[in-house]
Chains A and B, each alone.
Chain A
């Protein structure tokens, strides 16, 4: 049986549009140093390092070996994982399995990106098939716009419904000193912002960000050593289903009304493992990878927070605001900071802080159960459930 695993140290850089004052290794180092200090550790205490980003955003191959000056992996095991937008959550899951395996007791997970160093859309387009997709595809913004169009068509949701999500995320970010965007937007501001790719407007999208995040994962045998309360990983799951950018639309139709199968199936797996039946009631806070506003409607439905088509009503009800039944993205989420390789890991970091009661101005009271997700690839999903109480057994 595997070890139970907790997050015991959190480090992040301030998320910024551009960090020309540091190179990539130095940016990574900032987050690593913060995480080690937070966990009261020295570099020598780390048993292994897991790192992730997307190669073509910085144009650096073999980032695991390149990063050593900053990651602290000198003469240690380091492994790179990359799965696109889900990279950060993938890294968190890999760190979890490193510790759960019993082979490593203290593992550093690092996610980072310097989006300022390239053309983000240009780099993302290279994720898609050079024959079928690449000549036409226009990157994440336009890809998400396809989803938004379909969502509105199927549910009757409006652009204004989505704007409420954008406003909530930016309002929450005002409480987070690490967030990239600190702007107070109104629904009108979002509605009046220019179209990037119809129906997606500037105000609906995440920014391009430079930033890094590092977490320390520790085995149940050692959690007493650390100054922070452990934030336990209760369950993790992912689904990466498709190979071509138009496949997800197919599967929705074929799987008899599955809305977003990758997210639904992964969520179902972690809910079953932990025994969650009514997510909205039972989960105290959610840090979700919502790369744009419409995701804040549709993905809530896929996660079982409301019935299909119920996203707009849920968001307008205030249930996902600070003080609501289940605040979503108290950090401001992806729409306020998106250093892609760091983004999924930041969701886990924020859940850890919430569980530990250390989220300061963005703290939700008495968090016992927190949900983190990663989104990316071709509508792929990673899902992690975290909690305050040590689980009865390991059930990754």
Chain B
């Protein structure tokens, strides 16, 4: 007898998981996002034990667990590394292609943070170059209140 499994049509279900999430930024995250939203300022936190200034801010030092203190950071800094993105993804891609992701160490911080880069010329990006934040006009309390970073333009 022929095995019924041979030649069985295979059904595929197009489904999804769509659970709505509301992630708490916490007191530390809230203060950071408020500064971005209300004052267009970056804040980091410094571990009094290790002396490291973390950005994004940490309530406690990831290394030693000590409670950190607030530090103001510049809105410009150094591009540590980057990648120019050439592929579009319908749900994810945040800016027109090509844009870049970069790890940016702001002046005053010891760690880099991840953000977007735009307004750069083809081949312009280099590790070690200076970049500056471009803030959104409408800000809502998220890291996207910074639209992106761009190569630092000398004051006109």
Interfacial chain B residues near A58, Cβ < 8 Å? 21, 23
User: Please, which residue of chain B has its CB at the minimum distance from the CB of A32?
Assistant: B65
Complex Cα gap A122–B17 (Å): 9
Binds A, one of B55-63, B76-84, B97-105, B125-133: B55-63
A56 within 8 A of B: yes
Tell me whether A23 and B29 are in contact (CB under 8 A). Answer: yes
| Chain B count of residues within 8 A CB distance of the other chain | 21
Complex Cα gap A322–B25 (Å): 40
Binds B, one of A14-22, A99-107, A302-310: A14-22
Complex Cα gap A69–B29 (Å): 14
Interfacial chain B residues near A123, Cβ < 8 Å? 19
64-106 of chain B: CB within 8 A of chain A: 64-65
In the assembled complex, the CB of B109 is this many whole angstroms from the nearest CB of chain A, namely 16
Q: A56-B19, A123-B19, A131-B13 are in contact. Are A20 and B64 (CB under 8 A)?
A: no
Interfacial chain B residues near A130, Cβ < 8 Å? 13, 15
Tell me whether B27 and A21 are in contact (CB under 8 A). Answer: yes
Complex Cα gap A74–B25 (Å): 22
User: Please, which residue of chain A has its CB at the minimum distance from the CB of B18?
Assistant: A122
Tell me whether B59 and A26 are in contact (CB under 8 A). Answer: yes
Interfacial chain B residues near A117, Cβ < 8 Å? 21-24
Q: A130-B15, A131-B13 are in contact. Are A114 and B62 (CB under 8 A)?
A: no
Tell me whether A126 and B19 are in contact (CB under 8 A). Answer: yes
In the assembled complex, the CB of A273 is this many whole angstroms from the nearest CB of chain B, namely 37
Q: Which of B13, B19, B20, B62 contacts A68 (CB 8 A)?
A: B62
A29 within 8 A of B: yes
Tell me whether A21 and B58 are in contact (CB under 8 A). Answer: no
Interfacial chain B residues near A59, Cβ < 8 Å? 19, 21, 23
Q: Contact mask B9-45 → A, CB, 8 Å, 1/0?
A: 0000101010111111111110000000000000000
Interfacial chain B residues near A21, Cβ < 8 Å? 24, 26-27
Q: Which of A21, A122, A130 has the most CB of B within 10 A?
A: A21
Q: Which of A36, A56, A114, A116 contacts B17 (CB 8 A)?
A: A56
Q: Which of B22, B27, B64 has the most CB of A within 10 A?
A: B22
Interfacial chain A residues near B65, Cβ < 8 Å? 29, 32-33, 36, 43, 72
Complex Cα gap A114–B21 (Å): 11
Q: Contact mask A14-54 → B, CB, 8 Å, 1/0?
A: 00001111110010010011001000000100000000000
A119 within 8 A of B: yes
A118 within 8 A of B: yes
In the assembled complex, the CB of B133 is this many whole angstroms from the nearest CB of chain A, namely 23
User: Please, which residue of chain A has its CB at the minimum distance from the CB of B15?
Assistant: A130
Q: Which of B20, B58, B63 contacts A119 (CB 8 A)?
A: B20
Interfacial chain B residues near A36, Cβ < 8 Å? 65
Complex Cα gap A123–B17 (Å): 9
User: Please, which residue of chain B has its CB at the minimum distance from the CB of A56?
Assistant: B19
Tell me whether A20 and B19 are in contact (CB under 8 A). Answer: no
Q: Which of B27, B62, B64 contacts A22 (CB 8 A)?
A: B27
Tell me whether A29 and B59 are in contact (CB under 8 A). Answer: yes
Tell me whether B64 and A23 are in contact (CB under 8 A). Answer: no
In the assembled complex, the CB of B15 is this many whole angstroms from the nearest CB of chain A, namely 5
Complex Cα gap A74–B62 (Å): 7
Complex Cα gap A23–B22 (Å): 11
Tell me whether A116 and B24 are in contact (CB under 8 A). Answer: yes
Q: A21-B27, A22-B59, A69-B58 are in contact. Are A43 and B19 (CB under 8 A)?
A: no
Interfacial chain A residues near B22, Cβ < 8 Å? 116-118
Interfacial chain B residues near A18, Cβ < 8 Å? 24
Complex Cα gap A119–B18 (Å): 10
Interfacial chain A residues near B59, Cβ < 8 Å? 22, 26, 29
Complex Cα gap A43–B15 (Å): 43
Tell me whether A126 and B24 are in contact (CB under 8 A). Answer: no
Q: Which of A26, A114, A116 contacts B28 (CB 8 A)?
A: A26
Complex Cα gap A68–B61 (Å): 11
User: Please, which residue of chain B has its CB at the minimum distance from the CB of A33?
Assistant: B65
Tell me whether B24 and A22 are in contact (CB under 8 A). Answer: yes
Interfacial chain A residues near B25, Cβ < 8 Å? 23
In the assembled complex, the CB of A22 is this many whole angstroms from the nearest CB of chain B, namely 4
User: Please, which residue of chain A has its CB at the minimum distance from the CB of B58?
Assistant: A69
Complex Cα gap A32–B62 (Å): 12
Q: A29-B60, A69-B58 are in contact. Are A126 and B23 (CB under 8 A)?
A: no
Complex Cα gap A21–B28 (Å): 8
Give me 28 A-to-B residue pairs in the complex whose CB atoms sit less than 8 angstroms apart, sorted by A's number.
A18-B24, A20-B26, A21-B24, A22-B26, A22-B27, A23-B26, A23-B29, A26-B26, A26-B28, A26-B59, A26-B60, A29-B60, A29-B65, A36-B65, A43-B64, A59-B21, A59-B23, A69-B58, A70-B60, A72-B65, A117-B21, A117-B22, A117-B24, A118-B21, A119-B20, A122-B19, A122-B20, A130-B15
